[in-house]
Amino acid sequence: MWAPPLGCARAGRRPTNSPRAARSSPRRLHGSGRRRDAPPAGVDAAFSCSFARHQLPHASLDTTPCFYVLPTPLASLLIMPVARADLYGETFASVNEVLPARAASHPDVPILGVPGKDGVVRTYTYSELERATNLLAYHLASVVPPRAKGDATTKMTCALLAPSGYDYAINEMALVRIGYAVLLVSPNNSPAAIAHLCTATKASVLFTAPAYVQNAQEAQALATEHSFEVLDLAPSAVYSDKAIAAFSGVPYPVALSPADEGALTAFIVHSSGSTGHPKPIYISGASTAFNIATHFGLSGLTTLPLYHNHGHSCFWRALYSVRPLWLYPASELPLTTPNVMSILDQPSVQPEALFGVPYVYKLLGETEAGIETLRKFKLCLFGGSAMPTELGDRLVEAGVRLVGHYGATEVGQLMTSFRDYETDKEWAYNRVPPALAPYFKLEEHGPGVFEVVVLDGWRGKVVSNRPDGSYATSDLFVKHPELDAYKFVGRVDDTLVLVTGEKVNPVPIELTLRGESPYIKDAIVFGVERSQTGALVILSDTVNPATPRSELVKLVGPAVELANSEAPSHSRLTEEMLVFLPADTAIPRADKGSFIRRKVYAEFKDVIDCAYSDLEGGSGGSRAVGALGEMRSHIRELIASIAKSSDGLEDDTDLFSYGLDSLAATRIRNALQREFDLAGQKLPMNFVFEQPTIEKMSAYLVALAKGESVTERTQVEQMGDLVDKYRRFFEVPSTLSPDATSRPSASVVLLSGATGSLGANQLAQLLSTAEVKKVYTLVRARDDAEAAERVAASLNEKGLAGAGDARIVALAADFSQDRLGLSEERFEEVKADVTVVLHYAWSVNFNLSIASFEPHIRGACNLIQLCLSSRHLAFFFFASSVSAVAAYSGPSDVPEAVTDDPHSAQQMGYARSKWVTEKLCQIASETTPVRAVVLRVGQMVGSTVDGRWNETEAVSLMIKTGDTLHALPELQETPSWLPVDYAASTIFDLVKSEPPAPRTSQCWHVLQPRLVPFSDVLDALESTGMTFERVSPPEWVERLRKGPQDPVANPAIKLLSFFESKYASKPVAAVATDAAPAPRRSLSCTKTLAVSQSLRDAPVVGKDLMAKYVDAWRKSGFLAPPVKA
């Protein structure tokens, strides 16, 4: 019965190596009078099987399994075997032909079953549906003007706002019959969304059921740019059973020929509106008529509403295929296991397929009887949201033929998990069909996680969100380790960014909680810009509302424990952050059943804020801070209670080396905040990261209680500690290799950070010269193959050459590990080959403390040690940052040299870590034979070649607020912006330059020596057509703080803390905020300019170059197109 959503065209065939194809065999088709021993022309013999089906007495079907591409709205390709039913060889040019034709050929065949409130199913035949449609069409033609005879140009739209069911079906068919396009409005929409849809589609009338009159009228009042009437649905008496039986009149006369009618829009569906107002999608009558011919030949039960694309498709395919469909009446009958079972137990209800959201399968999967019911279906298809892994595994192991499908309203159906059910249990992994492959693109969003992008040319794509015509879905997948298959893991806009900068994917946690506990109906993880995650837990109906919280924690404990065991440490839930809500709590949902995260967070904001307030202890507790020894003992006991042990824990033990993770650190901080009287002060959220030993935490609390300033002293102290710790790290070989070079040779380069902007440009430049024989690119990845994919993808995405160059040796690495995480054999190979190391990889996260950067510092030291032990005594070049000297307080410009004062660094962990590593480079150069050169890199901007500028950098995100906030700050700064391609060229000049004398350090300034007032930057932006208000920096920060909190809609919000530290009028947090930085000095470039021709030639960012950057951002969709006058 069911097949792809409406809107498709035939595209191709199932591959002959398909498991299902391998089981094909000839069969006699009902009523054909012949054997199909060979497939018809153009169809592979492997497709000669067809799905078993319930044979209805009046249906004589010639079926040929095939594939179909959906070219028009709603759906593209569902690659699966489907049966095309060509009854009597007829084809339909318009959807209006379908029901009359079937009513003529199969008048008494039951086709639609609808259970009532009492669960009793009322079944309708084709003849009854046709008569009801004609009766209502005549009635509606007296209420609204029908399409005039022969009028094929007027656009006529009516909106339908009603519960799904029999009345809905008759109304939409009658409205189409009298010539209207029907906008199928979900009752879940807000009045504002309804107003938006009616305005966008120019609907003249909104027909509404009594339950939704108030929303309809509010929508009418809100629609200031377009007016429409609100009318009640016709009374059901118009097409009652009595009226149907009495009707013997002439069918309603349609106004157009089928061909003319088919060219017009028949239905308008809409997206869920999960990231804003829902978007209308238009479907013509012809595409509907053609594509309902694709189906499984299975009768079905659907729990999806008719105003949702999937449910709507099921209904129309049933009409075409002469395979009955039962509609679950969710608006009248609560979706519970007993109710579903009672409907299925009725003798007249015999569906062969079940179509529903995962929640339906969770309900039925909770009992053995429910699983047995699912096992009887020939097909159990789920969609709309992800299926909990544990639930799906359990059902498949029990013999349920479970199939997932993935698609979007904007691009249609893309992938399914159809497979050989007996041998292939990977139900969660969707397969890319051959017809989709040329238009299917994966873009990496972190190691092993990819966003699906649908390229222009895919016929199911009806919306584009990029200038090249492609559609970026925001849906994230991971690859199967062996199959060419992909598992959905969440959305880009699902990702939660904690205040620590760590990212959380909430979807797997939510799926485990829902799937593993019978006490949890639903769960939504929260934590944006917070220190740790929490979860709204909606309890199931089986839980007594009076159950104490302590008992609730025990009930859901096993599911929480399992979710935590599968999650990164920073993502894990603690019992304090479980917010229990009663079973009847209403959660904002899309029609497909998935909750709308943005709306949930907004609706439950007060509840979430209260949970964090309780967790973080407000302004403190009542217990007085004791003496230093007393505090040591107390903190030790606290750590033991959280870590479950304190064996081997000394007062000076680094807690993270001891095994504590970020979540444990947050719990320690919150417990101390709640318990002790801190005189109204708040501990920094990264308190334990900054004070990572018992001794340091105790001293901090004692100092705080005495009113002493502690933060800056301890941060600088940590910088010194790290220098002292790692200066003893370097082991000098007893004898130097005879192959040690006295000056850099770029014949074999080890490059880190090759997937970043500077690294990718540097790699392309290295490959452009014959001097370079090999480039080892060390990348964070699961294996070398993935590392190679990431490097190639980075070059391609940035429009750089070299992706297929055989000189690239991509390796999966971890710089903080021994041998850089490489195998011993590979590490020895690198040591023997490498002549130059360019180290660019570094976490660009301005929210982290210096303690969080220690793995990066250790990684740099590991690379220096590699150079020391390498055959050629390789040169080491470290990409530092001007932020390492942003607070330099010397009498003149910042010199091209490593500074001795740690206070020179900008007061954030990133800058301090760069200063520490600069210092270690200096020490290594002066105390060992290695040449460790510091490249102090300034702000880089986009390439001068094609204008591509990294969209995640701070400056890019600031410029983006000209779109999102319609404001930019009037900074009193003179930026020294250097195009990234010139930065790479400058570094290559420096690599080839004369090396420093032995046992001396060297530092270069890679930045634009010619400064530009920021007001000139704003002028250049305005010259590109951007419109924004110029405001003071504090005002801009305040607008950012109050602006959209969604990092997808407003990506600059991710750097709010960074921008606050630089531009807010006053510190945000008393204790955690550093003293104001010293006035910024200019950086001398005298030595670097003398050596580098590229730096001397580098252009400044004026109007021409800025126009190139803005144009590139507009092409990528990062910036909005200019407003037309």
Return the axis-axis angle of helices 628-643 and 694-705, rounded to nearest 10°.
130
Residue 457 has a pLDDT of 85
Mean pLDDT of 329-346: 83
Residue written as token pair 């489907």 = 82
Residues 678 and 535 in one domain: no
Q: For residue 782, what pLDDT is reported?
A: 84
Position 742 scores a pLDDT of 58
What is the C-alpha to C-alpha distance for residues 139 and 485, in angstroms, rounded to an integer? Answer: 52
Cβ atoms within 10 A of the Cβ of 294, count? Answer: 29
Structure tokens at 858: 């250790």
Tens-digit pLDDT profile for residues 113-138: 998 877 789 999 999 999 999 999 99
pLDDT of residue 1103: 93
* Three-state secondary structure call for residue 115: strand
Buried b (16+ CB within 10 A) or exposed e, 887-903: bbeeeeebbbbbbeebb
pTM score, whole prediction: 0.52
Greater model confidence, 352 or 725: 352
Identify the CA nearest to 461 among candidates 449, 447, 472.
472
- Residue 588 sits in the same domain as residue 634: no
Q: For residues 547 and 687, state if they share a domain.
A: no
pLDDT of residue 86: 42
Mean pLDDT of 874-889: 94
Q: What are phi and psi of 1048, to 5 degrees?
A: -80, -45
| 1016 vs 1 pLDDT, higher one | 1016
Q: Which of 380, 402, 432 is the endpoint of a domain?
A: 380
CA–CA separation, 867 vs 879, rounded Å?
A: 16
C-alpha distances out from residue 739 to 15, 199, 450, Å: 57, 76, 44
Let me know: does 1107 contact 1022? Beta carbons within 8 Å: no
Which amino acid does the sequence have at 1036? W
- 467 in a structural domain: no
The Cα 750–Cα 763 span in angstroms is 10
Question: Is the same domain home to 194 and 123?
Answer: yes
pLDDT over 60 (residue 396):
yes
Share of the chain above pLDDT 70, in %: 84
Instruction: Give per-residue pLDDT as tens, 888-940.
Output: 988 889 999 999 999 999 988 899 999 999 999 999 999 999 999 999 999 99
Contact (CB, 8 A) for 1055 and 957 = yes
For residues 647, 650, 656 and 659, what is the CA-based torsion angle, rounded to 10 degrees?
-10
Task: Say if residue 232 is in the same domain as residue 292.
Answer: yes
Sequence-distant (6+) residues with CB within 8 A of 90 are 101
Name the most confidently modeled range: 94-103, 460-469, 582-591.
94-103
Quick count: other Cβ atoms within 10 Å of Cβ 309?
31
Looking at residue 159, which CATH number applies to its domain?
3.40.50.12780
pLDDT of 478 > 70? The answer is yes
- For the chain, the domain total comes to 3
pLDDT of 883 higher than 70: yes
* Backbone phi and psi for residue 250, each to the nearest 5 degrees, phi listed first: -80, 135
Does the pLDDT at position 309 exceed 90?
A: no
Residues 589 and 545 in one domain: yes
8 A C-beta contact, residue 457 and residue 465: no
Stated as kind and residue range, the H or E segment containing 364 is helix 358-364
Three-class SS state of 35: strand
* SS3 (DSSP) at 356: strand
Residue 456 contacts residue 443 (beta carbons within 8 Å): no
Looking at the structure, tell me whether residues 186 and 294 fall in a common domain.
Answer: yes
- Give the model's pLDDT for residue 713: 53
Q: Which two tokens stand for residue 111?
A: 């086709």
**Are 686 and 500 contacting, i.e. CB atoms less than 8 angstroms apart?**
yes
Measured at the CA of 382, the angle between CA 376 and CA 385, to 5 degrees, comes to 155
Same domain membership, residue 638 and residue 572? no
Domain harbouring 513, CATH code: 3.30.300.30
Residue 28 clears pLDDT 50, i.e. is over it:
no
Give dist(CA 373, CA 812) in Å, integer.
48
Dihedral in degrees, nearest 10, Cα atoms 331, 332, 334, 338: -140
DSSP string, 990-1033: HHTSPPPPTT--EEEEES-SS---HHHHHHHHHHTT---EEE-H
Span of 615-629, 716-730, 948-962 with lowest mean pLDDT: 615-629
Residues 590 and 658 occupy one common structural domain: no
Domain, as residue range, for 276 = 95-380
**Bigger pLDDT: 27 vs 200:** 200
Distance CA 509, CA 497 (A): 15
Q: Are 6 and 320 in contact (CB under 8 A)?
A: no
Neighbours of 121 (CB within 10 A): 17
Domain assignment present for residue 775? The answer is: no
Q: Which helix (H) or strand (E) holds 370?
A: helix 368-376
Contact present, 43 and 64 (Cβ < 8 Å)? yes
Q: What is the mean pLDDT of the chain?
A: 83
| CA contacts within 13 A on the Cβ side of 129 | 35
Report the C-alpha gap between 975 and 940 in whole angstroms.
Answer: 10
Whether 742 is in a domain gets the answer no
DSSP label at 570? G
Least confident range from 570-584, 649-663, 750-764, 892-906: namely: 649-663
Question: What are the pLDDT digits (tens) for 225-272?
Answer: 899 999 999 999 999 999 999 998 899 999 999 999 988 999 999 876
Which of 140-149, 492-501, 996-1005 is predicted least confidently?
492-501
> Which residue, 102, 212, 110, 103, is CA-closest to 168?
212
For residue 664, tell me if it sits in a domain.
yes
Q: How far apart are CA 113 and CA 180, in angstroms?
A: 26
User: Exposure pattern of 546-555 as b/e (b: 16+ CB <10 Å)?
Assistant: eeeeeebeeb
**Could you say which of 675, 708, 741 is where a domain stops?**
708
109 occurs within a structural domain: yes
Residue 112 has pLDDT above 90, yes or no: yes
- Does 112 share its domain with 252? yes
**pLDDT tier at 21, thresholds 50, 70, 90:** very low
pLDDT score for 70: 31
Give the pLDDT score at 663. 73
Q: What is the pLDDT of residue 19?
A: 33
For every residue of 410-479, DSSP letters joined together read TTEEEEE----TTT---TTEEE--TTTGGGEEEEESSTT-EEEEEPTT-TT-----STTS-EEEEEEEEE
Of the given ranges (126-135, 138-147, 523-532), which has the lowest mean pLDDT? 523-532
Give domain status of residue 888, yes or no.
no
Q: Count of residues for the chain?
A: 1125
Mean pLDDT of 44-65: 29
Instruction: Answer yes or no: are the C-beta atoms of 108 and 125 closer than 8 Å.
Output: yes
What pLDDT sits at residue 476? 86
- Reported as a single tens digit per residue, the pLDDT across 1087-1108 is 999 999 999 999 999 999 999 9
In angstroms, the CA 509 to CA 531 distance is 17
- Sign of the torsion angle spanned by Cα atoms 759, 765, 771, 772: positive
Q: Of the residues 362, 380, 398, which one is the last residue of a structural domain?
A: 380
- With 80 as the cut, is the pLDDT of residue 1059 above it? yes
545-593: pLDDT as tens digits: 899 999 999 999 999 998 888 776 678 898 889 999 999 998 888 766 6
Q: Which residues are bridge partners to 269 per DSSP? A: 281
Predicted confidence at residue 617, as pLDDT, reads 67
The string of pLDDT tens digits covering residues 342-379 is 888 888 899 999 998 887 888 888 888 899 999 999 99
Q: Are strands 1002-1006 and 932-937 parallel, antiparallel or unpaired?
A: parallel
Same-domain check for residues 183 and 292: yes
Any domain includes 1109:
no
In a domain, residue 43? The reply is no
Same domain for 503 and 361 = no
- Residues near 502 by Cβ (< 8 Å), separated by ≥ 6? 568, 570, 662
pLDDT on residue 1074? 33
Give the tens place of pLDDT for each residue, 972-1000: 888 889 999 999 999 999 999 988 788 88
Q: How do residues 681-721 score in pLDDT, each as one tens digit?
A: 788 766 887 788 899 899 889 888 887 766 555 678 889 98
Q: Is 97 left (phi over 0), alpha (psi -120 to 50) or beta?
A: alpha
Predicted pLDDT at 47: 23
Residue 767 bridge partners (DSSP): none
With bands split at pLDDT 50, 70 and 90, how would you rate the model's confidence at 657? low
pLDDT at 79 over 60: no
